[in-house]
Amino acid sequence: MRFGLIQNYSTPIDEIADAVDTLEAAGLNTIAVAEAYSFDAVSRLGYLAAKTRTIGLMSNILQLYTRTPTLTAMTAASLDSLTPGGFTLGLGASGPQVIEGFHGVPYDAPVGRTREIVEICRQTWRREPVAHDGAHYSIPLTRDKGGSGLGRPLKIINRLVRADIPISIAALGARSVAQVAEIADGWQPIFFDPARADRVWGEALEAGRAKRSSDLGDLRIEVQVFFAFGEPSPDAIASVRAHLALYIGGMGARGKNFYNDIAVRYGFAAEAADIQGLYLAGRIEDAAAAVPDELVFGVALFGDADELKRRIAAFGAAGVTTLLLAPVAETAEQRLADVVSLLDLTRS
C-alpha cells in the first residue's frame, strides 16, 4: 500500500509545506492538492514542488471544463518537470453545482470529454503536432467550425521529462468508471467503503478492464480517506458527518446528486433521502446528524494500531493501491503526528 496526504482546500498550504522534511523522512509517497471553488491547485502544486525532494505530487482534481485540453497537458508537463518525485495528473468532471454554478460553463458530456482530453494530453506529451477532430474538441479549430482557417497543428515546444505522465481520473457513475478502467492509469473514487464498493463499482471496473490495453499496466485505485490514529474526537467525527452531509445532501438537486446515489447503492437509501431533504431545506446541522455511523466509519480509517492494520488490509483486498489521507485531528501538530505514526506503523 502507498500513502499520500490530501492538501485540502480549507487547510493552509504551509501546514504541509513546512512539514515536508518530516513527511519525506517518514516515507510519504504523494501529496495531492484539492481544487473545488477555492484557491487553484496548480499554484499550490508549484509551491510544493519547490519544497520536496522525493514526494510525488497529484492534482485532486483539475476540473475538465475549466481549462482547455492542451493547457491541461502543458500544466501537467510543467509540474512534472518541477516535481522530483513526479507528477500525476488528477482529472475529473466535478458536477453541475460547481461547473455551472461557479464557473458559468455548461456541464455537458463528461464521459465523452474525458476520453478526448486524455487522448489530447497523451498526444501533446509525445510531442506530436496536436491534431484532434472529436465531438467536443477540434484542434486546430478549422474555418467550418468558426475558426479563421489559418491554424496548423503545433507541438509543445519543451522537451518533457516524461511522455507518459500518469493520469488518474475521479469518476463515480458506471459509464465513467468503466471508461476510467479502460483508458486511465488510476481511478479516484470518493467515499470508498471497502466492504461495499464492489456492489457499486465492481461490474463497471470489470467491463473497463476487459477493454484495457496491456501497455497501461494495472489500474491504480487511489482513495481519499478520513483518517485519525486512535479514536477520533467527537468534534472530528462531527466534521466527517458535516462533509458527508454536504455532498450527499447539497451537491446537486434531487435525482442529480452523484454522491447521494453512492449512499443509496451502499444500502442507505432512506438515510440518503433524509439527509438530502434536510440539507435542501436549510437544516444543515440536522442533515449532518442524520448521517449514519456505519457510513462514517465505513469510509474512514480510524483506530488503534491493530485496527488500522486491519482496515488497511481491507482496503488492499478491495483493490486500493494508494490511501490519500485526510487527517481529522483538531491541530496541525496532531494531524502531522498521526500521519507519521501511521507511516511508521506500516513500515514496522
Please report, for the domain that includes residue 64, its CATH number.
3.20.20.30
Residue 228 backbone phi and psi in degrees, to 5: -150, 140
User: Of 261, 283, 299, which marks where a domain is finished?
Assistant: 299
How far apart CA 296 and CA 32 sit, in angstroms, is 22
The neighbour count for residue 109, using CB atoms within 10 Å, is 14
How far apart CA 63 and CA 52 sit, in angstroms, is 25
Amino acid identity for residue 315 in this structure: F
The answer as to whether 152 is a domain residue is no
Interacting residues of 202 by C-beta distance below 8 A, sequence separation 6+: none
User: Are residues 175 and 83 part of one domain?
Assistant: yes
Cβ neighbourhood burial of 165 (10 Å; 0-12, 13-18, 19+): buried
Number of domains in the chain: 2
Mark 173-199 as b/e (b = at least 16 C-beta within 10 Å): beebbbbbbbbbbbbbbebbbbebbee
The answer as to whether 134 is a domain residue is no
User: Are residues 207 and 121 part of one domain?
Assistant: yes
pTM here is 0.95
Residues 141-175 pLDDT 10s: 876 777 777 678 999 999 999 999 999 999 999 99
The C-alpha cell that represents 62 in the structure block: 483539475
The answer as to whether 133 is a domain residue is no
The neighbour count for residue 159, using CB atoms within 10 Å, is 8
Residue 143 confidence (pLDDT):
67
The answer as to whether 136 is a domain residue is no
Domain span holding position 272: 231-299
- Check whether the bond before 234 is cis (ω within 30° of 0): no
User: Are residues 46 and 100 part of one domain?
Assistant: yes
Distances (CA, A) of 305 to 173, 217, 278, 310, 319: 34, 32, 37, 9, 21
3-state DSSP of 60-73: ECEEHHHCCHHHHH
- Residues in the chain where the model's pLDDT stays below 50: none
The C-alpha cell that represents 344 in the structure block: 511508521
User: Are residues 168 and 289 part of one domain?
Assistant: no
